[in-house]
Chains A and B, each alone.
Chain A
Amino acid sequence: MSLLSKRFHLRGVLLAIVLFSGSTSQAQEPVRFAFIDPLSGAFASIGTSALRQLEFAADYYFNSQGGILGGRPIEIVAFDNQQSPTETQLQFRRVLSEDIRIIFQGNSSAVANTLNDAISRYNRRNPNQEILQLNYAAVDPVLTNDNCSFWHFRFDAHAEMKLAVLTDYIAGNEAIESLYIIGQDYSFGRVVADTTVELMAQKRPDVEIVGTEFHPIGQVKDFSPYVTKIASSGADAVLTGNFGADMVSLARSIIDSGLDIPIYTFYAAYDGITATLGEDAKGQVYLVHNEISNPVPTEERKQFTRAFKSAHPSTDVSQPRIINALRMTVAAMEQAQSTDPDAIALALEDMRFVDFSGEEIWMRSDDHQAFQSLYISMHTDEDIEFDADNSGYGLYSIHRAPAEQTLIETSCRMRRPRP
């Protein structure tokens, strides 16, 4: 009943906004955000689900509450880059021609790096018309280290932070004496492999890395040849940074071959992956992420998830980080009373924000990297209040690393625009 009325309420407000903007000449101009991510092609599912969450969060938190900055609605404008860096360049041009100055982007570090370069170059040449990049998922450490930029903010923990937590957890498991690393052959996959080798050598020198394998991204049709190698290496555990179809195919091949070893991942959940893994992967697939799924920590989170599920029954709140990115950016806008990227960036720096799970997020000004508690969760169907893919299976968090433990030094020497 309350859900129904909430939906009705939301629609009413939207209708009011439409009528309002149509009937008066002094209509409140919307605040526009660009969203550049794959909406077609092999990785479309990740991009479309992120877009749905961003749009829903904008309506839920702001548009239904009367907008931001004194009544302006948020408008999300989506651009499809098919997860290709080349296409991203074209879409970036389109964003410029649409006169949008804030860009959400997350999928693929290769794309994030391209966008980061393009934005830095553009901002240098066009003072006072800067563009802001809000990175909610690309986790190549270089983006907040050597290639850091004043115009880039990251709301996800980067690969080294996640791996520090994950390797701590693996190191604590005495049963694991050997580890196999497999990843997609591009910047992120290589960072995962190199960092894991380095960290495991420090934490558990006795754990043997029995294999480091790279495969082309999105091109492997059958992972069983790789699984044969994993099996014959005698590994006690597998670690991978794979995402999308590469993740689910790999996990399925490992499980189908009867290998009963834990698989440590970054992205083995949601968008059909959880449902496809199903019963077979129970208690075998783990992932490290910067959010808690189950047990659901707060009432606010429960209400948000229920409202989202009633609007999008087939999708899940899989990436709270994009919601955090939006809410923190809006908080910065309200604080600065401006939509100017320069003012937003300054307000975001050193911001402390409590998200809908009750976690505090701190945006470090040195490198524009967000810090919050990281979790290791397990794929299971026990004690799952909010499942994924309506499958009854979901993520249950089994290990928490508080934010202070995830602080990592940065090599970033940020060039700031003006003193």
Chain B
Amino acid sequence: MIEVLVFATLNGLVSGLLLFMLASGLTLIFSMMGVLNFAHASFYMLGAYCAYSISLHFGYWTGLVFAPLIVGVLGALVERYGLRRVHKSGHVAELVFTFGLAFLIEELVQLFWGTDTKNYQIPDSLDFALFTLFGQEFSAYRAFMIGIPICIFIGLYHVLTRSRIGIIIQAAITHPHTVANLGHNVPRIFMVVFGVGTALAGLAGVIAGPVLTTFPGMAQVLGSIVFVIVVIGGLGSLSGAFIASLLIGLLQSYAIASDLGMPDLLALLGVEFPRDHPLDDLWTLTLPQIGPVLPFLFLVLVLSFRSTGLMGKRES
């Protein structure tokens, strides 16, 4: 039992922190521009594919450095020449723009790289078991997947709260017009934030690609869950996104690890239904089965009790 708990926690950390890398960028973009960037997970996919191609010729570590840069520059270009033009037409147009962009990126990825699963592998230098606990290995790469996002969280937090640009970004989140009136180039701040946000998504793709497989559906799998995290954490709150990501990651991991379900509840209540009961599907439902729905349930709960999310400040 204890081994399941330990590994469920580690797995939850890995997937939670991965989600955080996506959510951190998204929450900043969302809060600054008021735009839900539907294409955010597509940049994650783009990161994985770029890194795959680079790793074929120059190895994994080159991909780790350059793929996020490429994705970040692409993101900044999208903001500069796409979103900024659409911005005049209002939020709905921006929303539709990013929605279309998500499809466009997915199609382009399939056009360039094909529809097959890509053989993107973890680097040899991290391909060993870090430790073996209760007969199960925990690979060094997974530890790496925990380490990188934590460094990013610390770094981003530092920049946002301590540096000058961070303070301007913070101000632009809550008082965009005042910041503009003070003479700061708010559009450029937007572009930088968008670029950095997409670069982070790209980095997440580079790191996750070898473990969670690089295939054309990888954006879809993560897409909706990232929005859930951003809303649960509270708009624009980096700490909120961090906490929400970990919560969701652990919640899903524990749900899968547990074997509890309706049969246990019914047994506890002393109720029994025949196998051919019309609601048999309901009576045999288990926690692992509904694991993927839990984040959405959690979202509904959080929103109904605290509409700003866990750490959100601004009522929008």
Asked if A228 and B136 sit within 8 Å, CB to CB, the answer is yes
Bound complex: CA A41 to CA B107 (Å) = 9
A298 → chain B, closest Cβ, in Å?
27
Besides A214-B288, A248-B117, 5 other CB < 8 A contacts? A40-B110, A41-B216, A41-B220, A228-B136, A248-B215
Chain A residues, CB < 8 A from B141: 256
- Take A44-B110, A218-B217, A245-B213 as given contacts and tell me if A272 and B136 are in contact as well, using a CB distance cutoff of 8 Å: no
Bound complex: CA A134 to CA B288 (Å) = 36
Q: What are 26 contact pairs spanning A and B, CB under 8 A?
A: A40-B106, A43-B217, A44-B110, A45-B117, A45-B216, A49-B116, A213-B288, A218-B217, A221-B218, A225-B257, A228-B7, A228-B11, A231-B7, A244-B117, A244-B215, A249-B212, A256-B141, A256-B211, A258-B129, A258-B132, A272-B116, A276-B118, A276-B213, A278-B121, A314-B114, A391-B119
Bound complex: CA A159 to CA B137 (Å) = 33
Interface presence of B4 (CB below 8 A): yes
For the A-B complex, the count of residue pairs with Cβ-Cβ distances under 8 Å equals: 136
Chain A residues, CB < 8 A from B121: 276, 278
- Take A42-B217, A272-B215 as given contacts and tell me if A219 and B292 are in contact as well, using a CB distance cutoff of 8 Å: yes
Q: Which of A219, A226, A253 has the most CB of B within 10 A?
A: A219
The 9 closest A-B pairs by CB, nearest first: A42-B217, A272-B117, A258-B137, A272-B116, A275-B119, A45-B115, A44-B115, A225-B256, A228-B7
Asked if B217 and A231 sit within 8 Å, CB to CB, the answer is no
Chain A residues, CB < 8 A from B18: 222
CB-CB nearest in chain B for A211: B259
Residues 134-154 (chain B) with a chain A CB within 8 angstroms: 134-137, 139, 141-142
Asked if B215 and A45 sit within 8 Å, CB to CB, the answer is yes
Chain A residues, CB < 8 A from B46: none
Chain B residues, CB < 8 A from A249: 212-213
Residues of B whose CB lies within 8 Å of any CB of A are 3-4, 7-8, 11-12, 14-15, 18, 106-107, 110, 114-121, 129, 132, 134-137, 139, 141-142, 208, 211-213, 215-218, 220-222, 252-253, 256-257, 288-289, 292
A71 → chain B, closest Cβ, in Å?
35
Chain B residues, CB < 8 A from A278: 119, 121
CB-CB nearest in chain B for A222: B15
Asked if B289 and A185 sit within 8 Å, CB to CB, the answer is yes
Chain B residues, CB < 8 A from A275: 117, 119
Chain A interface residue count: which class?
35 or more
The binding surface of chain B is classed by DSSP as helix
Chain A residues, CB < 8 A from B129: 258
Bound complex: CA A68 to CA B314 (Å) = 70
B158 → chain A, closest Cβ, in Å?
29
Interface presence of A232 (CB below 8 A): yes
Interface presence of A215 (CB below 8 A): yes
Chain A residues, CB < 8 A from B215: 42, 45, 244-245, 248, 272
Asked if B136 and A257 sit within 8 Å, CB to CB, the answer is yes
Bound complex: CA A314 to CA B211 (Å) = 23
Chain B residues, CB < 8 A from A273: 117
Interface presence of A224 (CB below 8 A): yes
Asked if B212 and A42 sit within 8 Å, CB to CB, the answer is no
